[in-house]
Amino acid sequence: MGVGFLGLGRMGLPMITHIRAAGHDVIGFDIDDAARRRARETAVSVADEPAAFADRDIVCSSLPDTAAVERAYAGPGGIFDVVTRGTVCVDLSTISVATSRALADAARERGIGFIDAPVSGTSTHAAAGTLAVMVGGVAADLERVRPVLDCFSASVDHVGPNGAGLLLKLSTNRLLTAHLAAIAEAVVEMEAAGLDVAQGLEVLRRGAVPRLLDYKAAPLADRDFTPLFTVDLMRKDLRLAAEVLPGFRLATLAREILEEAAQSGHGEDDVAALITSIEAELPTDH
């Protein structure tokens, strides 16, 4: 299968390396001379201009931002001007949902497939070939390119129409940031309390925190508030925490959300009932 790969940076280079190792006929391109040179040093075949993608069945891109992706595909001499009908374009970047959908529409008018396929993971996961890919677009287009995506991924999931992959990726990164910030608060709290941070983190690893999705994801999605650990019990614990630990932003916000759930009648329900406070923030016309 003929593959073109646009973007040979920290993520793109290991991805194209895996594609080549799997036996695909792949050629790369990057506007940066240094990136092209590094790719050639790893024995990747590199073109000096995107016109080399004219005969490719699939074109993948891993670029830093929305503007770069828009230029690469829809700009003068861009991918849409180069490839032929029937080609499927796979954008692995994290960009504006609106721009990605507009590019998909523009591609469709030319008889070209276009899917958004942002990845979850870092350059370490890219090097290991264990990225998670979330795909928005036409299912048949995904099936054509799946053998290529499988080269550098541990999972490839079709999550909906164009834009759905990006929506899930953006939600994922919000969650990751909030989770990381909460862990950061816990580290500073432990330090302020004079606790052994290394020991405290090891205890956290053995508790409920690393498996929170296993315990609470389904009850949240299903609005199943059968009590295992109630809102009122958690309110009590957070009240005790506030007496002896710093009042950091996320901890304070979490307590406020829990109080709102109790005030709306969920005190005896499972702590998963805090989702009622979250969904109350949705605009009425949503």
Q: Please pick, among 18, 169, 255, 266, the residue that the annotation labels catalytic.
A: 169
Concerning whether 236 is annotated as a catalytic residue, the answer is: no
How far is the CA of 126 from the CAs of 11, 113, 202, 210, 278, in angstroms?
Answer: 6, 24, 27, 23, 34
Residues 6+ apart with CB under 8 A from 34: none
Q: How far apart are the first and last CA of the chain?
A: 43
> Residue 238 carries which side chain, given as an amino acid letter?
L
180-186 contacts at long range (C-beta below 8 A, 24 or more positions apart): 181/250, 182/250, 182/251, 185/248, 185/249, 185/250, 185/251
Q: Which of these, 87, 75, 78, 162, lies nearest to 118 by C-alpha position?
A: 162
CA atoms in the 13 A half-sphere facing the CB of 192: 12
Distance CA 157, CA 172 (A): 14
Q: Which of these, 82, 85, 17, 76, lies nearest to 46 by C-alpha position?
A: 17
Map 134-189 to HEC letters: EEECCHHHHHHHHHHHHHHEEEEEEEECCCHHHHHHHHHHHHHHHHHHHHHHHHHH
> Residue 18 carries which side chain, given as an amino acid letter?
H
Beta bridge partners of 155: 132
Residue numbers annotated as active site = 169
